[in-house]
Structure formats: structure tokens, C-alpha cells
Structure 1
């Protein structure tokens, strides 16, 4: 069972890659809405991993991957897909009517769907381990270091954005509309979360070796 549990991590990452490819295409392929399909693939992949955990012996699973690491890997995959999708669609927010533009609504709907799905899956993960210790001193140390990476990435991004806006000639800032800047700030928060989840997942993986 330990080897099976470890196998779920690369399968989760692979499913995230397929979902990202479909979301980045975000159009029609053989009559299929690839954006919706990408979201479905990501959610079903994560749900499938949790379903497999639900049928497994927890002691064997914890010997392979701890609850904290499961959360970190699922969070990394979900956030990475959301960031990649957001970056690919950021141009739609340049000078857009945020309330009435259908392209903006489509991007926002995808991102909100991913957020809701991650919230539900996170609750499912907590419920799976609700009667067991989910966080010890090691988990607290991993979380502290990962949070530092997340803050660092967010602060670095804000500094780069501020320097770009403050020192670029006006004729090179035609892209910097209020909607674009607002969404870039949201993106930086997401990137910070991605760094935090990824740093946590990689630290757990390094500790197992």
C-alpha cells in the first residue's frame, strides 16, 4: 500500500499537466469545451486520489505520504494549473469591462470553479484524517519554511511590479490599465501560494529520502 500511495503523487501531477494543457487551449476541440474538460480532469484526478486514500489503511498511507504532504501536493497542482491559466488569459483584463465582457466572465468562472473545488477537496482531506494527528512539530517547521518562501515570492513580485510602474516611460505603460494592475496583484497572491505549497511538498519529499 505504501508504494501505491507514493504512486498517487506522480499520477496527480500528470493529471494536473493534462488539465493545464486543456485549460490553456481553452477552446473547442472535436466539439468539446477544452476549458471545462480541463477543470473536470483536474477535479476528477484529485478526487480519484482522495477516493483511493479513503479505501486504504491510514497507517500504511501515512508511512508513505503524510497528511501534510498530501495537502501540499494537491495544493501545488491546483495552484499551478490556476496560475498557468490566469497568466495565459491575463490579456483579457487589459481595458476590459469587468462586469460585461464575456471573456472576463469565462476566465473568472474557471478560476472560481478551481477555488471552490480545492476548498471542497481540502475539506475532504481533513475529514479523512479527522480522528488522527494531522500536524506535529515537523509539519509546523515545514509550514514555517514554506510560508517564508510564499511571502518572499509575493514581496519580490510586488517590488518588480512597483519598479516597472514607477520607472518605465509613460508610452511603455499603455498595458497598465487599472483592471490589468488589479489582476496582476491577484496573480502575485496566487504565485505566493504556489511557492508556499510547492516548497512544502518538496521539503516533505526530501525528508522521505
Structure 2
């Protein structure tokens, strides 16, 4: 296994650990507040990604991953973590309105924190990439396939929601309270983004083979 791949795996593991510490970990780890430790690790992942991309020769010649592939796999890791977190904590949204539900408010804020963290990192990665590497027709084609996969995934999920709500007996829809439905819509967007990153990452990976 090449060093760039090992570096990506290491960054993904650290990012997952940082997310766990920030949102679902214990109050303290080895005497250190878990939130602070998670923030430091998340910052380390961001800087590590920038450093790794800056060392990729000629945008990904040979077995090295291109910046676009780095961005796709990192994005997939972030969105899968966010989606898993949203699914695990979905039951807290089955309750009173958000302004009377502190647990749902906390989970919602945590999801927003993760999304904002990835958006900022993705913006920095994208700016660094476009300054150093010219986007070619291959990149545009792979990105177009990824965007198409995201749209298809979102349509399929929303149609599934619509069919479930339309054809289920009323007595079986007690779970479908507004806060939970809103949460499921956000989850649909997150999952569609994960599909986009997956298709883009696989596109670059197949192109390297």
C-alpha cells in the first residue's frame, strides 16, 4: 500500500475519532475535556489533508491520489459519520417541538457543527487545489457523474418518503411528527452528498487503475 493511501486512512481514522470525541464521547479522556481533544484532532485532520495534497506530484500521477480524489474520500468519511450520527440519534426528534426538546436541539447543533466543519475544510481544499492544479475534462466528467448520482439518490429517498407517508395507515404514522420529518429530510440531503462523494471517489480510483 502506497504512502498516500496510508495517509488517507490515517486521516480518516483521526477524523472519525475527533467526531466521536466532539459529539458522542465521554466528558473527559485521560483527564482532558473530550470536546477540546476532538477539536484539536479535527484541526489536525484539516492541516494534514492540506499537507498531503501539497505533496501529491503533478495532481496525482502514477499511484498517487489526485486532489479531487482526496476531497471525495474525505467528504465520504465526513458525511458517513454525520449520517450515522443522525440515524443513531433520530429517536430524540420523536417528541415535542424543538424549542421544548433540549436533546433534539443538542443533536441538531452537533450535526450543524459537523456540516460546517466539513464545508470549511472542503472550501480550503478546493481553493488549494484550484490554485495548484488545473481542472481537466476528466475531473469535470467525474464531478458530473457524482452530481448526477446525488440527484438520483435524493429523488429516490424523497419518493420513498412520499410513498411511505401516502400509503401507510394513519394509525401507523404516529412516529411522523414534524421534528422527526424535518430531521429525515436533512438526513436525505446528507446521504445524497455521501453518494456523490462515493461516485466521485470511485471514478478517480477506476481512472487510476
Question: TM-score over 0.5 for the alignment?
Answer: yes
1:48 positional shift: 2.1
Q: Matches of 1:156 and 1:39 in 2, distance apart?
A: 35
Q: 1:198 to 1:170 in 2, by over 3 A?
A: same
- Which residue number corresponds to residue 182 of structure 1? 182
Superimposed CA distance per residue, residues 68-124 of structure 1 (whole angstroms, 9 cap, x where no aligned partner): 112111211111111111111111111333124221221122112112211221222
Q: 1:40 to 1:103 in 2, by over 3 A?
A: farther
Q: 1:59 to 1:81 in 2, by over 3 A?
A: same
Q: Matches of 1:191 and 1:125 in 2, distance apart?
A: 21
Q: 1:102 to 1:39 in 2, by over 3 A?
A: farther
Determine if the alignment matches structure 1 residue 87 to structure 2 residue 75: no
Superimposed CA distance per residue, residues 132-184 of structure 1 (whole angstroms, 9 cap, x where no aligned partner): 33421111111111122211211111111111111111111110011111111
Determine if the alignment matches structure 1 residue 18 to structure 2 residue 23: no
Q: 1:61 to 1:147 in 2, by over 3 A?
A: closer
Report the RMSD for the aligned CA atoms in angstroms: 2.7
TM-score (norm 2): 0.83
Q: Matches of 2:10 and 2:81 in 1, distance apart?
A: 15
Aligned length: 206
Q: Matches of 2:171 and 2:22 in 1, distance apart?
A: 33
Q: 1:111 to 1:171 in 2, by over 3 A?
A: same
- Which residue number corresponds to residue 62 of structure 1? 60
Residue 97 of structure 2 aligns to a residue in which SS?
A: coil
Q: Matches of 2:161 and 2:3 in 1, distance apart?
A: 44
Structure 1: gaps spanning 5 or more residues: none
Determine if the alignment matches structure 1 residue 128 to structure 2 residue 136: no
TM-score (norm 1): 0.83
